[in-house]
Protein backbone atom coordinates (compact mmCIF):
# COMPACT_ATOMS: atom_id res chain seq x y z
CA UNK A 1 0.00 0.00 0.00
CA UNK A 2 1.13 3.47 -0.82
CA UNK A 3 1.08 6.13 1.84
CA UNK A 4 -0.82 9.34 0.95
CA UNK A 5 1.30 12.46 1.02
CA UNK A 6 0.47 15.13 3.54
CA UNK A 7 1.12 18.87 3.46
CA UNK A 8 0.52 21.87 1.22
CA UNK A 9 1.63 22.35 -2.32
CA UNK A 10 3.89 25.21 -3.28
CA UNK A 11 1.09 27.03 -5.10
CA UNK A 12 -1.16 26.87 -2.04
CA UNK A 13 1.56 28.38 0.12
CA UNK A 14 2.22 31.11 -2.45
CA UNK A 15 -1.49 32.01 -2.53
CA UNK A 16 -1.56 32.35 1.26
CA UNK A 17 1.56 34.55 1.21
CA UNK A 18 0.03 36.73 -1.52
CA UNK A 19 -3.18 37.16 0.47
CA UNK A 20 -1.24 38.14 3.59
CA UNK A 21 0.79 40.62 1.53
CA UNK A 22 -2.34 42.25 0.12
CA UNK A 23 -3.91 42.52 3.57
CA UNK A 24 -0.71 44.04 4.98
CA UNK A 25 -0.53 46.56 2.14
CA UNK A 26 -4.00 47.79 3.11
CA UNK A 27 -3.70 47.48 6.88
CA UNK A 28 -0.36 49.21 7.50
CA UNK A 29 -1.31 52.63 6.03
CA UNK A 30 -4.70 52.48 7.76
CA UNK A 31 -3.01 51.70 11.07
CA UNK A 32 -0.51 54.54 10.61
CA UNK A 33 -3.36 57.00 9.97
CA UNK A 34 -5.21 55.64 13.01
CA UNK A 35 -2.21 56.18 15.32
CA UNK A 36 -1.74 59.69 13.92
CA UNK A 37 -5.39 60.47 14.68
CA UNK A 38 -4.88 59.17 18.21
CA UNK A 39 -1.86 61.46 18.69
CA UNK A 40 -3.80 64.44 17.29
CA UNK A 41 -6.52 64.09 19.94
CA UNK A 42 -4.17 65.98 22.26
CA UNK A 43 -4.63 69.06 20.08
CA UNK A 44 -8.40 68.54 19.89
CA UNK A 45 -8.65 68.14 23.67
CA UNK A 46 -6.37 71.14 24.22
CA UNK A 47 -8.97 73.40 22.61
CA UNK A 48 -11.71 72.31 25.02
CA UNK A 49 -11.09 75.14 27.55
CA UNK A 50 -11.22 77.71 24.76
CA UNK A 51 -14.48 76.30 23.42
CA UNK A 52 -15.92 76.31 26.93
CA UNK A 53 -14.84 79.92 27.48
CA UNK A 54 -16.51 81.04 24.25
CA UNK A 55 -19.71 79.18 25.15
CA UNK A 56 -19.83 80.64 28.65
CA UNK A 57 -19.07 84.21 27.62
CA UNK A 58 -21.62 83.93 24.81
CA UNK A 59 -24.28 82.92 27.31
CA UNK A 60 -23.45 85.47 30.01
CA UNK A 61 -22.81 88.31 27.55
CA UNK A 62 -19.15 88.98 28.39
CA UNK A 63 -17.94 88.21 24.85
CA UNK A 64 -16.96 91.12 22.69
CA UNK A 65 -15.14 91.23 19.38
CA UNK A 66 -11.39 90.92 19.26
CA UNK A 67 -8.94 88.49 20.88
CA UNK A 68 -7.95 90.95 23.64
CA UNK A 69 -11.53 91.23 24.88
CA UNK A 70 -11.91 87.45 24.69
CA UNK A 71 -8.79 86.89 26.80
CA UNK A 72 -10.31 89.09 29.48
CA UNK A 73 -13.45 86.97 29.46
CA UNK A 74 -11.50 83.73 29.67
CA UNK A 75 -10.22 84.61 33.14
CA UNK A 76 -13.72 84.36 34.66
CA UNK A 77 -15.37 81.77 32.43
CA UNK A 78 -16.20 78.77 34.63
CA UNK A 79 -12.69 78.31 35.92
CA UNK A 80 -11.06 78.43 32.51
CA UNK A 81 -7.67 80.14 32.92
CA UNK A 82 -6.74 83.37 31.20
CA UNK A 83 -4.06 83.54 28.52
CA UNK A 84 -1.29 84.18 31.06
CA UNK A 85 -2.26 81.17 33.14
CA UNK A 86 -2.63 78.96 30.09
CA UNK A 87 0.91 79.72 28.94
CA UNK A 88 2.40 79.57 32.44
CA UNK A 89 4.83 76.72 32.71
CA UNK A 90 5.41 76.66 28.98
CA UNK A 91 8.66 77.99 27.58
CA UNK A 92 8.89 81.11 25.48
CA UNK A 93 8.26 80.87 21.74
CA UNK A 94 11.14 79.24 19.91
CA UNK A 95 12.26 77.16 22.91
CA UNK A 96 11.38 73.48 22.93
CA UNK A 97 9.41 72.31 25.99
CA UNK A 98 11.09 69.86 28.34
CA UNK A 99 8.55 67.20 27.39
CA UNK A 100 7.50 67.67 23.76
CA UNK A 101 3.79 67.57 23.04
CA UNK A 102 1.60 68.09 19.99
CA UNK A 103 -0.59 70.76 21.62
CA UNK A 104 0.95 74.22 21.50
CA UNK A 105 -0.90 76.72 23.74
CA UNK A 106 1.12 79.54 22.18
CA UNK A 107 -0.28 78.56 18.77
CA UNK A 108 -3.94 79.05 19.72
CA UNK A 109 -5.77 82.09 18.40
CA UNK A 110 -9.34 83.13 19.06
CA UNK A 111 -11.31 85.46 16.82
CA UNK A 112 -14.81 86.68 17.53
CA UNK A 113 -16.91 88.39 14.89
CA UNK A 114 -20.55 88.91 15.66
CA UNK A 115 -22.16 85.52 16.24
CA UNK A 116 -19.18 83.56 14.90
CA UNK A 117 -16.14 82.45 16.88
CA UNK A 118 -13.08 80.95 15.22
CA UNK A 119 -10.54 78.92 17.20
CA UNK A 120 -7.29 78.06 15.43
CA UNK A 121 -4.68 75.70 16.87
CA UNK A 122 -1.27 75.34 15.24
CA UNK A 123 0.32 72.20 16.74
CA UNK A 124 3.95 71.54 17.50
CA UNK A 125 5.79 69.30 15.06
CA UNK A 126 5.76 66.11 17.11
CA UNK A 127 5.66 62.39 16.42
CA UNK A 128 4.29 62.56 12.87
CA UNK A 129 2.19 65.70 13.39
CA UNK A 130 3.43 68.72 11.47
CA UNK A 131 2.87 72.43 11.98
CA UNK A 132 0.67 72.47 8.86
CA UNK A 133 -1.87 70.21 10.60
CA UNK A 134 -3.81 73.19 11.92
CA UNK A 135 -7.16 72.65 13.56
CA UNK A 136 -9.79 75.32 12.95
CA UNK A 137 -13.10 75.29 14.78
CA UNK A 138 -15.87 77.63 13.70
CA UNK A 139 -18.56 78.21 16.30
CA UNK A 140 -21.89 79.78 15.45
CA UNK A 141 -24.10 81.23 18.16
CA UNK A 142 -27.67 80.10 17.69
CA UNK A 143 -30.85 81.90 18.70
CA UNK A 144 -31.19 79.51 21.64
CA UNK A 145 -27.82 80.64 23.07
CA UNK A 146 -25.95 77.48 22.09
CA UNK A 147 -22.69 77.53 20.19
CA UNK A 148 -22.48 74.94 17.42
CA UNK A 149 -18.90 73.93 16.58
CA UNK A 150 -17.70 72.50 13.25
CA UNK A 151 -14.21 71.74 12.01
CA UNK A 152 -13.36 74.02 9.10
CA UNK A 153 -12.88 72.13 5.82
CA UNK A 154 -9.77 74.21 5.05
CA UNK A 155 -7.99 73.06 8.22
CA UNK A 156 -4.65 71.36 7.61
CA UNK A 157 -5.72 68.32 9.58
CA UNK A 158 -8.52 67.83 7.02
CA UNK A 159 -6.39 68.16 3.89
CA UNK A 160 -3.75 65.48 4.54
CA UNK A 161 -2.99 63.25 1.58
CA UNK A 162 -3.41 60.06 3.66
CA UNK A 163 -6.76 61.18 5.05
CA UNK A 164 -8.13 63.46 7.73
CA UNK A 165 -6.73 63.27 11.26
CA UNK A 166 -9.28 65.53 12.97
Quickly list DSSP for 8-46: --HHHHHHHHHHHHHHHHHHHHHHHHHHHHHHHHHHHHH
**Is residue 55 in a domain?**
yes
Spatial contact of 58 and 119, defined as CB atoms under 8 Å apart = no
Query: In this predicted structure, what is the pLDDT of residue 79?
Result: 37
Alpha-carbon span 40 to 35, nearest angstrom: 9
- Answer yes or no: is pLDDT of 52 > 50: yes
**Is residue 1 in a domain?**
no
Mean pLDDT of 140-152: 85
Spatial contact of 80 and 49, defined as CB atoms under 8 Å apart = yes
Give me the domain span that covers residue 127: 10-151
Q: Tens digit of pLDDT for each residue in 57-101?
A: 777 766 654 444 343 333 333 334 344 434 433 334 444 456 678
Instruction: Report the share of the chain in percent with pLDDT over 70.
Output: 76
In this structure, the strands spanning 147-151 and 135-141 are antiparallel
Candidates 117, 106, 50; CA nearest to 80 is 50
**Is residue 60 in a domain?**
yes
**Is residue 166 in a domain?**
no
How many other C-beta atoms can be found within 10 angstroms of the C-beta atom of residue 71? 15
Query: In this predicted structure, what is the pLDDT of residue 13?
Result: 94
Alpha-carbon span 112 to 144, nearest angstrom: 18
**Is residue 140 in a domain?**
yes
| Averaged pLDDT score across all residues of the chain | 76
Candidates 94, 150, 151; CA nearest to 124 is 94
Query: In this predicted structure, what is the pLDDT of residue 69?
Result: 39
**Is residue 5 in a domain?**
no
**Is residue 138 in a domain?**
yes
Query: In this predicted structure, what is the pLDDT of residue 137?
Result: 92
- Answer yes or no: is pLDDT of 106 > 60: yes
Residues shown for the chain: 166
**Is residue 161 in a domain?**
no
Q: Tens digit of pLDDT for each residue in 10-49?
A: 999 999 999 999 999 999 888 888 898 998 998 898 888 8
| Number of structural domains in the chain | 1
Amino acid sequence: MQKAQKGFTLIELMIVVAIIGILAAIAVPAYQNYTLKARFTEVVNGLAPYKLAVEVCAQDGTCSTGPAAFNGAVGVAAGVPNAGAITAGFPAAGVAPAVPTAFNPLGVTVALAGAVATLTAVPNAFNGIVVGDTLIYTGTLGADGRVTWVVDAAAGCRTRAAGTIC
